[in-house]
Structure 1
């Protein structure tokens, strides 16, 4: 009898062990599939289930011309939590987003206590060495002014929903270090950069703004725009101030893992003078064109997925004065999409990244998976983002 009991127990243990092995194997396979669907930026932090306790890890995950954002972290970082969605452009209250920009010196890492809609009365002048981290909550900046980066460096903007930005008339506003700045007329852009460097714009959802969604102008360089969802917009992304501003010749921008569409018409991006590496993006149609240029820019389009609109313009590129250097490398074209590229490869084939900027480019056939979570992420509590 004792022998039979031992045999029964052994059998139960064996069945349990086999069941656990199958379950573990299934979990590992699912985890492996999830990782395989992520791009190199997301793998860096989203695979960590304890990312909330290690938020600063994000700064080491950027790639492209922004480089690693390690100057935004360290022992001297001040962690600041926004608790109040109100906005006073001249006398910001503690707990508001503008207070962090105007009254905290040095490095600041900004998070949000709860879901909120912030209606800015005047443009928010973002300070240097600032991270705006919207992960874990739904933060909207909408129905008023939006973000202005002017002569700043080392800024991360992550996890925001920015929409319905409207133009603002001239007037005073408090800027960094509590200095009053006399602002001129400001167009209704979601994020505008002027003479700024080392900027990373990642995992934001941007749409329906009065002018454009992102402007990189007046000598700005060292910019990475990644994992964003751009939709419902005429003019999406402008790189370069105008055809007479030659300082933008030094501009270098990486545009990677973004989702363009639906209903984006043009400027994805439009570039003047500088260099753009446009890589592993999903283009879900366009109106006038997808990628445009003027004033002799260089654009390397690499391993993107272009899905042409039904019954519309199938040509991806637009060149205002026939001197842009467009180059397509390993792009994938669907629904009749076509790419008119320059006869001479020139500089467009060479991003010339530093070691801290380099990343592996995925096959264009993987772009749907790599961009499926573009935009501001939903991050359930007690789980991976």
Structure 2
């Protein structure tokens, strides 16, 4: 069933006159001048989101290289600006179009092999623990060089988007790759549509030896004090690789609409970079992570609508709120997600802290198998190594974090080998609400079933009810799969 917005009729008067819920499509007018439909999610809560739709001819650009793209962004001076992306923009390229790689950003004496040897658990973890964990503040020339290398890459591949801008992909193959768009503090009124975002690759991920570290006696030799090569904290589970760069980072920005875009790791998924340390630091989650989020919304960002977009083949999709301790985010982080498709994504679809987040008519597809079975963490670890799943393991689709208030309705969750707690998981939250959603082909009370499966109950009293649905009502859950498959992603306007 095709249900897209008939823009010409709807926007001619600024009202929804002539729009119906039965025959909704985009016409062939220039999508660069289209604006967010009135009342379409939280982005529309405090006035229209117009991006650069009112741009004068002098502020309309067609770009096909990083150089042209950055020059167009820098030339806006706050004026409404339309930037049309033609073909592929590689943000990790120089002004001559040559792709920049690790060798171009690396600062001596950094080399990955030297770095992983210097901070290997067998070397670093044998030092006295700090608060029952290995020292998480790495020291030494290799860590200094890694940080300098990372900063050099960041200075080049992170591109700031100013206010009053529309960034629009032309045709079906517009891409922005190997970098990150930053919508920062003070930036408002941004529209991004019809673009494939791929592979914000961090060449210099950092090892955190204390991340998820556990003094777990089920692991042979695991203990707090180092004795010898077979007994000590180096024989405990834990440690993670962490990377930077989201494909889009909304860090303090406001009134943002992302629509009909596609997000993935491209042809360099993290599955190509397995763990580099031996047991017990070779859990699936200890892969060398080169990608962070797809879209993160943080630092008092607010009023965001993400619609009709495709997120695929990635582990951690996005955060709304990035710290349990950022109480200043209270009252912000209001986000709507509708009509989106999450396929082979592991978690954070999204994970929410503090925000009021409306999630409706989305389709989540994944597989929760892969953590292994057994009575202890050690047994599950050993068993998981035999399975070697090729998919991203679903931990939870919607993560109810600290002070979050997720309102979910009419979503479809198809999670093989999963249970309802994989649809809505308790991540230190207290509340979450769902109505009319389907889990693995059945209409169930997802919150009650998730509470039963996880043992970490969530109250259904989220304290608010959405009112911002745009020109169309919520689709019945029976129509969601067909609608989302047909409409979600770039190249479908």
Q: What TM-score, normalized by structure 2, do the two folds share?
A: 0.58
Q: CA deviation at 1:168?
A: 7.3
Structure 1 residue aligned with 2:427: 320
Does the alignment pair 1:85 with 2:65? Answer: yes
Q: CA deviation at 1:267?
A: 0.4
Q: What TM-score, normalized by structure 1, do the two folds share?
A: 0.73
Q: Check 1:236–1:75 CA distance in 2 against 1; reply closer, same or farther (3 A cut).
A: closer
Q: Check 1:305–1:363 CA distance in 2 against 1; reply closer, same or farther (3 A cut).
A: same
What are the within-5 Å matches in structure 2 for residues 33-182 of structure 1? 36-39=1-4, 47-52=25-30, 55-60=32-37, 63-67=40-44, 68-70=48-50, 72-74=52-54, 76=56, 78-87=58-67, 96-105=68-77, 106-112=79-85, 114-120=86-92, 121-142=156-177, 144-151=178-185, 152-167=187-202
C-alpha separation in 2, matches of 1:186 and 1:98: 24
Structure 2 residue aligned with 1:206: 263
Q: Check 1:62–1:207 CA distance in 2 against 1; reply closer, same or farther (3 A cut).
A: farther
Structure 2 residue aligned with 1:272: 353
Q: Check 1:300–1:348 CA distance in 2 against 1; reply closer, same or farther (3 A cut).
A: farther
C-alpha separation in 2, matches of 1:66 and 1:347: 20
Number of residue equivalences:
313
2:405/2:432 contact within 8 Å kept: yes
Deviations, residues 247-305 of structure 1 (Å, cap 9, x unaligned): 222121001100000x2000011000111000000011251111112212100110101
2:334/2:355 contact within 8 Å kept: yes
C-alpha separation in 2, matches of 1:301 and 1:78: 43
Q: Check 1:103–1:75 CA distance in 2 against 1; reply closer, same or farther (3 A cut).
A: closer
1:325/1:348 contact within 8 Å kept: no
Q: CA deviation at 1:100?
A: 1.2
SS of residue matched to 1:371: helix
Equivalent of residue 196 in structure 1, options 253, 257, 279: 253
Q: CA deviation at 1:358?
A: 7.1
1:230/1:260 contact within 8 Å kept: yes
Does the alignment pair 1:374 with 2:488? Answer: yes
SS of residue matched to 2:473: coil
Q: CA deviation at 1:69?
A: 1.6
Q: CA deviation at 1:352?
A: 4.4
Equivalent of residue 460 in structure 2, options 323, 342, 345: 345
Q: CA RMSD in A?
A: 2.8
Q: Check 1:147–1:75 CA distance in 2 against 1; reply closer, same or farther (3 A cut).
A: closer
SS of residue matched to 1:187: coil
1:275/1:298 contact within 8 Å kept: yes
Q: CA deviation at 1:351?
A: 2.0
C-alpha separation in 2, matches of 1:41 and 1:150: 32
Structure 1 residue aligned with 2:364: 283
Q: Check 1:141–1:314 CA distance in 2 against 1; reply closer, same or farther (3 A cut).
A: same
Runs (5+) with no aligned partner, structure 1: 1-35, 88-95, 170-184, 379-384
Deviations, residues 176-216 of structure 1 (Å, cap 9, x unaligned): xxxxxxxxx98121100111110011111101170010100
SS of residue matched to 1:366: helix
Q: Check 1:110–1:344 CA distance in 2 against 1; reply closer, same or farther (3 A cut).
A: same
What are the within-5 Å matches in structure 2 for residues 195-274 of structure 1? 195-208=252-265, 210-250=291-331, 251-261=333-343, 263-274=344-355
Q: Check 1:48–1:270 CA distance in 2 against 1; reply closer, same or farther (3 A cut).
A: closer
2:406/2:433 contact within 8 Å kept: yes
C-alpha separation in 2, matches of 1:319 and 1:214: 21
SS of residue matched to 2:337: strand
C-alpha separation in 2, matches of 1:108 and 1:62: 23
Q: CA deviation at 1:119?
A: 2.9
Q: CA deviation at 1:141?
A: 1.5
SS of residue matched to 1:289: coil
C-alpha separation in 2, matches of 1:145 and 1:78: 27
Deviations, residues 76-110 of structure 1 (Å, cap 9, x unaligned): 575423344143xxxxxxxx111111122211011
Q: Check 1:294–1:314 CA distance in 2 against 1; reply closer, same or farther (3 A cut).
A: closer
Deviations, residues 209-251 of structure 1 (Å, cap 9, x unaligned): 7001010000001000111100011100100120011122212
Q: CA deviation at 1:334?
A: 1.7
Select the structure that is richer in strand. Answer: 1
Q: CA deviation at 1:117?
A: 3.9
C-alpha separation in 2, matches of 1:128 and 1:62: 20
C-alpha separation in 1, matches of 2:258 and 2:406: 19
C-alpha separation in 2, matches of 1:154 and 1:210: 27
Deviations, residues 4-31 of structure 1 (Å, cap 9, x unaligned): xxxxxxxxxxxxxxxxxxxxxxxxxxxx
1:168/1:188 contact within 8 Å kept: no
C-alpha separation in 1, matches of 2:307 and 2:63: 27
Q: CA deviation at 1:134?
A: 0.5
